[in-house]
Every structure is written in C-alpha cells, then in structure tokens.
Amino acid sequence: MQVINLYKPFDIIYVEEEVCPMGQHRNNFFELVYILKGTGTLHHNQHVYDYTEENLFLMMPQNTVHTRVSTRTAFVFIRFNGIYLEAQRAGNPHSNLGDWARKLEYIFHNNHHYPGCILQNRDDKPVVRALMNALILEYSREQSMRNEVVQQLVNTIITIVARNVSLMQPEPAVTGNSEVSNEIISYIHQNIYYPEMLKAEKLAAKFNISQNYIGEYIKKLTGNTIQRYITNYKLKLVETRLQYSDMRMSEIVEELGFTDESHLNKTFKKYNGINPTEYRKKMWAEKNYQPGMSG
C-alpha cells in the first residue's frame, strides 16, 4: 500500500477527475477532503460512505483511504502535519497559527466518534463552499500576502468545522442528554489550556449550577471528578503531541500546565504504564511515522 508523506506545514490540492485520483493509500498527515461537485463513495478504513457535493471528511494519520468516483468529481484536499502542534511554540515562524491549531485539536479529539461528513449544520454548507472556492483561487495565485490570506481562509473553515463538531454529542461516556450537559463538556475541551476557566466556581457560574453541586453533576456526566476528567483529557493531548510532533517535554509541560517534567512523567506513567519518551518511541516505531517539519 502506498504511504504518502507531507514535507511542509500544510498543502492545498484541487483536482477534478472521472476516476479515483489515487488508489488505496495511507497518509502520514491530517487531511480534510471536500467535495465541490460529483458523486461516488469514500472508503475510510472499514467504512464506506456515499459522497456528494458539499460533503467534508476528516482523515487522521495512518487512516486507509480511497475513493470510487461515480460522476466527475472535484476534490479539495487540505493537508497538514505536526506543524499544527509546533505552531504553539514561542518564536515559531508559524506561531500565528496557534488558535487554528487548537481548533484542529478540539476537532481531532471529538470527531472520531462521528465518522462521515463533518458538516451537520445545513446553513454552513454554502459558507464552506464559498470559502473553498476562495481558497482554491487564492492558493493558485502568486500575489502579495497570499500565505496570510490562505491561512485566514483555512482558519475560518476550521472554525466552522469545530462549531459543527461541538453540535454533536462530545463524549460517549457522557450519560446526560441535555443541551447543558453537552455544553459543559464542550466548554471544558475548548478551555483546557486555561485552568482558571475550569475552576469549580467558574463552571458553576457559567452554567448557572450551584458551586456545591457542580462537582457531583460533572461526575454524573463523565463518571469522573472534575479534576480527573480534566487530567484524562490533558493526557489525550499529550499523546497527540507525542505521536504527531517533536515537541520537547518542557514545551508540553508549559503548554498544558503540568508543574514540571517530573509531574508530567509521573502522571503519564500512572495512566499509561510507560513514560512519555517510551510512549513516543513506541508510537513512532509502530506507525513508522516522522512528523515532517521541513517545507
């Protein structure tokens, strides 16, 4: 099976074909696949989806993907690699992508429960279509400030995708079905980098729930205390960084609010059985993955 690598932070490809643009393959990067026009089927791991115009799909690294074209199809591929994590490093030339990176991360950690087309809000489809058309036009031209315009367009697309993902049930462990239940979990995920926003008194005030009851309420939703749920989610983010970037441990510590590297190592090993360095080596060896940073 063909394995495709990406050697720059992100890339945008537009193709219009009457046959599949590439056979079964595996990507070593993240990819958004948008259908401007046409019909067919998208084969994603063990799943098969009928696609039509204005569908948008998210592919994770190491996913197996190919398409079967029924009618001539125009595809837009937005591809990005480990730079989406590196973007948050101080002094990185792509640091203006930090907010974009965090929206992506929110999507990655909530979308995998909902395979298929990401766009659930019908009103967003014409907006995304217009943005995709603008993206294709701008990316194809060598004009002043092109990269900045492209980044803003991609950022807007990602924001709309994040909004659609937030409309879905965010965690299978959540037992409550109310809108407030979903909003609380979504709020925690979106503010995971801002610990002051996740204090019990802040959560209670935000969702108009008694401060004495908020802890019990969240435990009913998630099966965990507030702190345990936050820690579990942070560890998911650590795993993402270890798998898809070459961020140093000190950078992960600073970004995710661990006390120091010893605290990170101890917490990670407690829940995963191995320390972060061993986990990274194991994941990279299993996937033969290298988070390309050149470009």
List, for residues 94-121, the tens digit of each pLDDT value. Answer: 444 455 556 666 666 665 545 689 888 8
Phi, psi (rounded to 5 degrees) for 196: -65, -25
Task: Return the bridge partners of 95, or none.
Answer: none
Model pLDDT, residue 54: 95
Which domains, from first to last, does the chain contain? 2-166 (2.60.120.280), 174-222 (no CATH), 234-295 (1.10.10.60)
* C-alpha distance from residue 179 to each of 49, 166, 174, 175, 277 (Å): 28, 11, 12, 12, 39
pTM of the model: 0.64
Read off the pLDDT band of 264 (50, 70, 90): very high
Q: Are 77 and 157 in contact (CB under 8 A)?
A: no
Sequence letter at residue 84: Y
The SS3 assignment for 45 reads coil
For residue range 231-251, list pLDDT tens digits in order: 998 998 898 788 777 788 998
Q: What is the dihedral of CA 285, 63, 8, 236, to 10 degrees?
A: -70
